[in-house]
Amino acid sequence: MQSSGEDRHRETLRDSQIPLKMLLKESPLLPGYQVIKLEGDAVFRWRARFSNWVSIKLEDYDHPDFTKNQVELTKKLHSCWEWKEIIEDNAEQLKGFTQIKDIIYQKEPYLRIARTDHPEDNIGIHRDTHYGATENEWVVWVPLTDSISGGELRILPCSHREPEEAYPWTQSNDPAVEKGSEKHWLGFRYAPKKMSKEVEDSCVRVPCFFGEAILFNCACVHGQIVNKAPWTRFSVDIRIADKNSDIQRNRGLHGDIYVEL
């Protein structure tokens, strides 16, 4: 019988007690994800930069023209390069967990902003491989606010090992997201592929504090349906891959999504 998400999370906790050296050597993201402590200070400068841009504590952020302002903030994000520093400063541990040799990283990462009790701020539970990514790609998910207390990213442990048939989906158009629109550019899906409620419910919460990141394989089922933490969550997700791996680099509105480190 297939183990539940909770069982697999317990296995994950057990796995996480394996000494880092062994994980680095043997590999690999046994459950498909790992919380890592970020080296370097780029993430602290990054948060300060965002706080300046919004002129308010990130946790208290809201805006009357929310989507338009998220676009503006994303453009500002793309004009600074702290995320490159984060990848550089953490290259060794990222390579160790993923077995990537030559890192390429996403040149225009996605900024996600999720207010409390606003399901429309989230893209729901999904699998990146349903949208063109491969199991040769990983996400470095960097929260700029604590991602705890109901605001966690949720992941289905070990789901990266399952074939596509294991997670059937149904697709329908989302009337709130037009193809080529601002929301589409921000990373929302105009025709989302929805998996079963059972799969959604099997995903476990993965707490992650500011200063940490979650590294997960693109084939992992993951996401968030609604932020239940009593503060707004800011996060940036940065794809990484090996320069020589078999991936599709040109995608949708963002062209070739990768640059070399």
Which residues of this chain interact with Fe ion, rule CB under 5 A? Answer: 128
Minimum Å gap between C-beta 126 and Fe ion is 6
Cβ-closest position to Fe ion: 128
The two tokens of residue 145 are: 């606010």
* C-beta closer to Fe ion: residue 137 or 146: 137
Taken in order 259, 137, 77, 181, the sign of the CA dihedral is positive
* C-beta closer to Fe ion: residue 23 or 238: 238
- Paired strand residues for 111: 236
Closest among 123, 113, 121, 118 to 61, alpha carbons compared: 113
Minimum Å gap between C-beta 123 and Fe ion is 7
**Planar angle of CA 244, 129, 184, nearest 5 degrees:** 105
Minimum Å gap between C-beta 5 and Fe ion is 17
Cα distance between residue 124 and residue 71, in whole Å: 20
User: Would strands 153-155 and 110-114 be described as parallel, antiparallel, or unpaired?
Assistant: unpaired
Which residue's entry shows tokens 């491989």?
A: 129
* C-beta closer to Fe ion: residue 23 or 141: 141
State whether residue 24 is helix, strand or coil.
helix
Closest among 112, 139, 108, 127 to 203, alpha carbons compared: 127
* C-beta closer to Fe ion: residue 9 or 127: 127
* C-beta closer to Fe ion: residue 23 or 105: 105
Minimum Å gap between C-beta 105 and Fe ion is 16
Q: Hey, what amino acid is at 187?
A: G
* C-beta closer to Fe ion: residue 128 or 200: 128
* C-beta closer to Fe ion: residue 115 or 126: 126
Contacts of 37 (CB under 8 A, 6+ apart): 211, 212
Minimum Å gap between C-beta 141 and Fe ion is 9
User: Would strands 170-171 and 193-194 be described as parallel, antiparallel, or unpaired?
Assistant: antiparallel
Minimum Å gap between C-beta 137 and Fe ion is 10
Minimum Å gap between C-beta 187 and Fe ion is 8
Q: Which residues of 30-65 are buried (b: 16+ CB within 10 A; e: fewer)?
A: bbbbbbbebeeebbeebbeebeeebeeebbebeeee
